[in-house]
């Protein structure tokens, strides 16, 4: 029971696509109703962790969190007292396992089409689950297979100076539940992050020459080598902004190439250009230098520059310059789903944010 006296449970609307069409996993519960898998949150579990565990235990299906759907509060009589519960539901993509229901808890589990799921929820389901079904099915109908794409492009970021090991543990657990692209942490936490993500598709990312880019080339290369030794699989390196603005593009290209060589094929390298401090001609020159240096991504911002972070204009320009040869990462001030989708439409293939779980929320007016 939580501090507010509520009993918390978590579960979700699980989906898959079969021959291009969405199907939803529903259960037949012990009381004859069509429902969704859910169960009690245990110990210090995150709500998302509890939802995935309960889905796996009740139905045999492994999933990843795509987005929160709804929190449903209800009460029921237990002996002579009233128990108040709040059920947290998530939209969950099936990524593994196979349907085999937990016979001691539920009568059955099966995938059905969205129309059948909607009908079953209305005719055989619980009234307080109707909004959960409605929000989830609406997202599947509108977005199709792209409904879960945003989460797979997020670099879940924790670069605050005051971040603690427990904070790092939390963002790693969140990233595992949502299967974000990576967790990006300061170099001191790379080893902890890499160990926390073992067995997960989520990558360990760190920063080099951060946040000013004013370290020497030798220092940046050594940072890169140590980060890789500690388990980093992605390196976000801040370019020498002063050298670029002074017109020494060759220096920028050489320092980035040194980091690529230090990574030695064991990590992808993203060049942070700090686009808010540059004009369009400088952004283009920096992007071309990064391309020539052999990096894998160009990235807009550190998030620490007072001048600003990612913009649609900067992302569009970067995509025009590098074409399909490099990824483009938009970071700095990306805090809403709408903003993230606008950046993706402009050409971003990664989104750096410290607000990952909030970013994937399904707005009433979704951008698809």
- Out of 29, 155, 236, 270, the active site residue is 236
Q: Is the pLDDT of residue 365 over 50?
A: no
The alpha carbon of 168 is separated from its chain's Cα centroid by a whole number of angstroms, namely 15
Q: How many whole angstroms separate alpha carbon 98 and alpha carbon 65? A: 17
Enter the tokens of residue 243. 């050298």
- Domains of the chain, by residue range, sit at 7-144, 153-359
Task: Give residue 5's region: left, alpha or beta (phi > 0; psi -120 to 50).
Answer: left
Q: What CATH architecture is 7-144?
A: Alpha-Beta Complex (3.90)
The number of C-alpha atoms within 13 Å of 5 and in the hemisphere containing its C-beta is: 5
pTM given for the model: 0.94
Instruction: Look up the CATH architecture of domain 153-359.
Output: Alpha-Beta Barrel (3.20)
Q: For residue 324, indicate whether it is catalytic.
A: no
Within 10 A of 52 (CB to CB), how many other CB atoms are there? 27
Q: What residue has token string 């903003």? A: 339
Instruction: Give 3's pLDDT tier (boundaries 50, 70, 90).
Output: low
Phi, psi values for residue 295, rounded to 5°: -75, 175
When pLDDT is averaged across residues 193-221 and rounded to a whole number, the result is 98
Q: Does the annotation mark 220 as catalytic?
A: no
Establish whether 329 is a catalytic residue. yes
Mean pLDDT of 237-263: 98
**How far is C-alpha 158 from the geometric centre of its chain's CA atoms?**
13
Encode pLDDT of 300-323 as tens digits.
Answer: 999 999 899 999 999 999 999 999
Q: Which of 122, 182, 106, 107 is nearest to 151 (CA)?
A: 182
């Amino acid at each position: 029971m939580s501090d507010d006296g509520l009993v918390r449970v978590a579960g979700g609307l699980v989906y898959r696509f079969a021959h291009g069409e969405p199907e939803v996993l529903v259960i037949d519960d012990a009381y004859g109703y069509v429902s969704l898998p859910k169960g009690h949150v245990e110990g210090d579990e995150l709500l998302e962790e509890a939802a995935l565990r309960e889905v796996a235990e009740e139905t045999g299906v492994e999933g990843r969190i795509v987005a929160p759907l709804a929190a449903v509060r209800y009460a029921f009589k237990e002996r002579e007292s009233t128990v108040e519960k709040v059920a947290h539901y998530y939209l969950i993509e099936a990524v593994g396992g196979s349907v085999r229901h937990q016979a001691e808890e539920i009568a059955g589990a099966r995938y059905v089409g969205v129309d059948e799921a909607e009908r079953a929820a209305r005719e055989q389901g619980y009234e307080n689950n109707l909004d959960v079904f409605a929000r989830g099915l609406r997202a599947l109908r509108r977005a199709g297979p792209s409904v879960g794409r945003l989460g797979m492009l997020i670099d879940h970021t924790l670069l605050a100076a005051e971040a603690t090991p427990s904070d790092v543990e939390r963002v790693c657990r969140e990233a595992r539940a949502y299967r974000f692209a990576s967790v990006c942490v300061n170099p001191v936490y790379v080893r902890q992050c890499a160990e926390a993500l073992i067995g997960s598709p989520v990558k360990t990312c760190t920063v080099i020459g951060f946040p000013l880019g004013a370290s020497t080339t030798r220092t940046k290369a050594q940072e890169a080598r140590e980060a890789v030794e500690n388990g980093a699989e992605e390196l976000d390196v801040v370019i020498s902004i002063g050298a670029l603005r002074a017109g020494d593009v060759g220096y920028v290209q050489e320092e980035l190439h040194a980091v690529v060589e230090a990574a030695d094929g064991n990590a992808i390298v993203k060049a942070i250009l700090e686009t808010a401090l540059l004009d369009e001609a400088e952004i283009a020159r920096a992007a071309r230098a990064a391309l020539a240096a052999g990096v894998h991504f160009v990235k807009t911002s550190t998030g620490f520059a007072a001048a600003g972070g990612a913009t649609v204009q900067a992302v569009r320009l970067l995509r025009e310059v590098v074409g399909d040869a490099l990824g483009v990462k938009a970071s700095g001030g990306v805090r809403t789903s709408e903003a993230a989708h606008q950046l993706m439409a402009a050409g971003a293939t990664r989104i750096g944010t410290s607000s990952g779980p909030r970013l994937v929320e399904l707005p009433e007016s979704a951008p698809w």
